[in-house]
Amino acid sequence: MRVRLSSAGVALLVLTLTAMSLENLASLIRPPAGTKVAIVVFEDLEWPDCATVHPMLAAAAKTHNVPLVIHDFPLPRHTWSFQAAVNALFFDGQKQKLGDEFRGYILQNQKLIDDEAALQQFTAKFAEEKQVTLPSVLDPDGKLAQAVTADFRLGQRIGLEHTPTVFVVSGSGAAIPFVETIDRHKLDRVIEDMEKKAGAAIQPKPVDSKR
């Protein structure tokens, strides 16, 4: 499975990452506390490439037993992606697994959603299937919308303009971006290499028996 960005988008992202350095990038995106390696993705629930890549990333995270950290990057030209991200955070607040399932559900049905009204219909259907009571207003104080905006601004700081953009990150400060293509075999190799390096980094030094 492979996703290719436009050459202009690739060039821009490469230049941005080079300018800020991968060390600075690693300071912005890190694995969750208590984990050594993670897959980090910036995605837009309205974008077809995100629908293609999402199950692959989820499978890789499960195979390697590493977290999949999702940041929302709803592109301004998409009419319902921002609200979809807000809705996903609502389900996250009920239960993390529900938020993950909602994202997958919306991505699977993406082609059937043409506006925000349709999005809300699918959201209501998902909630009914999961036996979750939806409030009349999902985000009454605007905190979920603020969280989505914070994610978007993080992506802007990195220099992203396209989704999905995927990184494999390590607590040691390493961050490997998948800029032009997202290939499952390459992704597996990078995760395995980072896990080995992270494991070696915490190994105790051997005791010198001559001392």
Domain ranges (residues) in the chain: 7-199
Q: Span 17-24, mean pLDDT?
A: 49
For the chain, where are the E strands, in sequence order?
Answer: 37-43, 68-72, 165-170, 175-178
CA 186 to chain centre: 18
d(CA 51, CA 33) in angstroms, rounded, equals: 28
Q: Convert the pLDDT of each residue in 41-98 to its tens digit.
A: 999 999 999 999 999 999 999 999 999 999 999 999 999 999 999 999 999 999 889 9
91-132 pLDDT per residue, tens: 999 988 999 999 999 999 999 999 999 999 999 999 999 999
Can you tell me the mean pLDDT for 16-43?
74
Fold of 7-199: Glutaredoxin (3.40.30)
